[in-house]
């Protein structure tokens, strides 16, 4: 239930006034959690824009929900819809989440990826700037590309020095591969839209905040192929590994699973976004890393941990050989490349918003895989036609 605005204050002790938010891409993974948070804990209104609404249906129906009237769904594609400017004008703040953001698309559909992450975001920036509206734009940790340390010899002691791997918003360079490595089409498009937004701030005074998420994971992320998404689709790693676990098949490690990632629980990350929404004076003109530097693992370690956690929450024994190696060419096709390591520096978000993530990797996997099992195990049983062992 929403608390009254008079009882909620910002980080400087000022009362928070209810605003209207135009949220583009509200029907996706992050959007659905952000809408939930805004409906449950604030009095803000949301104009939710997306081509799909399956992940926010529970917030839209029935009419008796306590937040009825505070969330309005508009089914539209921002590529071609004349309603976009009007909706941005109606709101105090626009949050743009819309994007193609699954790595399997970057090298196989580079044109769609570049259009989605750069061209389609242009009118949103333009309408915000022309109408003096604040914009929170979702970029990505991928704009950092590879670490400086990845170019050092494998046995160089400098690889252990944070100066060679820690990713800082205001210092680190953006290091991408060659043009034929089309993996970087996404990162490059995101980088250019960041630069454009930054320039709108510098030259035209637009109020903006740029968010760089570092592998946010949790319930409702992507889809399970053959259940609620295409059988041949390749979602992000959480859903790929969940799919393998639900099917009782080995988890596929791309190029041995040696790349490193830091994973943050979606609920922790959404707290950071709410702080940005409600503390504009502290968040405007900033770029924020949002991740959990304490949750670093190699992809191989992630697979091993997910196997253990899934066995615990499902009651099913793990396979004797729970993982299998696969080449990136076989898994993603020509033009794939990878970020080696992603540890966010937290100085800026700490200083401006006092935000820190709380949830350990084990705990976030336990709650997420409990959700995956509860949501998909029965449907999967029907698809593969084999009974699953029930929890002892």
Ligand X SMILES: NC(=O)c1ccc[n+]([C@@H]2O[C@H](COP(=O)([O-])OP(=O)(O)OC[C@H]3O[C@@H](n4cnc5c(N)ncnc54)[C@H](O)[C@@H]3O)[C@@H](O)[C@H]2O)c1
- Which residues are annotated as catalytic? 186
Burial of 327 per CB tally in 10 Å (0-12, 13-18, 19+)? exposed
Long-range contacts of 111-120 (CB under 8 A, 24+ apart): 113/185, 113/186, 113/189, 114/185, 114/186, 114/188, 114/189, 115/79, 116/189, 117/186, 117/189, 117/190, 117/193, 118/189, 118/190, 118/192, 118/193, 120/78, 120/79
Distance from C-alpha of 360 to C-alpha of 263, rounded to nearest angstrom: 9
Distance from C-alpha of 84 to C-alpha of 104, rounded to nearest angstrom: 29
With respect to ligand LM6KSONS, which residue has the nearer C-beta, 86 or 333?
A: 333
Q: What is the CA radius of gyration of the chain?
A: 21
**Contacts for 266 with CB less than 8 Å, ≥ 6 apart:** 29, 30, 33, 216, 217, 218, 219, 221
Q: How many separate helices (H) and strands (E) can be counted in the chain? A: 14, 15
**355 belongs to the binding site for ligand X (CB under 6 A):** no
- Residue 347 CB, nearest distance to ligand X (Å)? 20
- Residue 142 CB, nearest distance to ligand LM6KSONS (Å)? 5
**291 belongs to the binding site for ligand X (CB under 6 A):** no
Shortest-Cβ-distance residue relative to ligand LM6KSONS: 240
The count of residues interacting with ligand X (CB under 6 A) is: 24
> 51 contacts which partner out of ligand X, ligand LM6KSONS, none, CB within 5 to 8 A by kind?
ligand X
Q: Which residues bind ligand LM6KSONS (CB under 6 A)?
A: 101, 103, 140-142, 186, 215, 236-237, 240, 252-254, 257, 259, 261, 299, 338
**176 belongs to the binding site for ligand X (CB under 6 A):** no
> 240 contacts which partner out of ligand X, ligand LM6KSONS, none, CB within 5 to 8 A by kind?
ligand LM6KSONS
**79 belongs to the binding site for ligand X (CB under 6 A):** yes
> 299 contacts which partner out of ligand X, ligand LM6KSONS, none, CB within 5 to 8 A by kind?
ligand LM6KSONS
With respect to ligand X, which residue has the nearer C-beta, 322 or 376?
A: 376
Distance from C-alpha of 111 to C-alpha of 133, rounded to nearest angstrom: 29
Applying CB under 6 A, among 6, 9, 15, 52 the residue interacting with ligand X is: 52
CB 219 within 8 A of CB 296: no
Q: 166, 183, 119: which is closest to 331 by C-alpha? A: 183
Shortest-Cβ-distance residue relative to ligand X: 28
With respect to ligand LM6KSONS, which residue has the nearer C-beta, 127 or 336?
A: 336
User: Binding string, 103-142, against ligand X, x = CB under 6 A?
Assistant: -------------x---x-----------------x-xx-
**216 belongs to the binding site for ligand X (CB under 6 A):** yes
């Amino acid at each position: 239930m929403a608390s009254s605005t008079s009882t909620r204050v910002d980080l400087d002790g000022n009362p928070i006034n209810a605003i209207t938010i135009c949220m583009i891409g509200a029907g996706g993974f992050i959007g659905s959690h952000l809408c939930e948070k805004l409906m449950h804990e604030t009095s803000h209104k949301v104009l939710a824009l997306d081509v799909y609404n399956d992940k926010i249906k529970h917030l839209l129906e029935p009419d008796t929900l306590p937040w009825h009237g505070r969330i309005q769904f508009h089914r539209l594609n921002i590529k071609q819809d004349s309603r976009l400017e009007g909706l941005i004008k109606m709101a105090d703040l626009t949050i743009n989440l819309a994007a193609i953001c699954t790595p399997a698309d970057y090298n196989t559909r580079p044109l769609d990826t570049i259009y989605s992450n750069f061209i389609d975001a242009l009118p949103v920036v333009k309408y915000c700037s022309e109408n003096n509206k604040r914009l929170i734009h979702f970029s990505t940790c991928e704009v950092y590309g590879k670490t400086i340390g990845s170019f050092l010899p494998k046995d160089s002691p400098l690889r252990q020095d944070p100066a060679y791997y820690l990713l800082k918003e205001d210092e680190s360079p953006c290091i991408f591969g060659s043009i034929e490595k089309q993996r970087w089409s996404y990162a490059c498009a995101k980088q250019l839209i960041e630069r454009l937004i930054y320039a709108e701030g510098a030259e035209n005074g637009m109020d903006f905040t740029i968010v760089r998420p570092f592998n946010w994971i949790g319930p409702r992320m992507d889809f399970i192929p053959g259940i609620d998404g295409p059988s041949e689709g390749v979602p992000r790693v959480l859903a790929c590994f969940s799919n393998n676990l639900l099917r009782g098949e080995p988890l596929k490690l791309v190029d041995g699973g040696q790349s490193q990632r830091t994973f943050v629980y979606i609920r922790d990350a959404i707290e950071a976004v709410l702080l940005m929404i409600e503390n504009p004076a502290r968040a405007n003109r900033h770029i924020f890393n949002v991740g959990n530097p304490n949750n670093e693992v190699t992809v191989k370690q992630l697979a091993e941990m997910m196997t253990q956690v899934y066995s615990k929450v499902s009651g099913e024994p793990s396979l004797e050989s729970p993982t299998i190696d696969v080449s990136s060419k076989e898994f993603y096709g020509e033009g794939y490349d990878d970020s080696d390591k992603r540890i966010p520096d937290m100085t800026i978000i700490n200083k401006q918003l006092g935000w820190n993530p709380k949830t350990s990797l084990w705990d976030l996997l336990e709650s997420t895989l409990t959700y995956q099992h509860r949501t998909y195990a029965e449907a999967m049983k029907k698809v593969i036609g084999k009974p699953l062992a029930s929890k002892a």
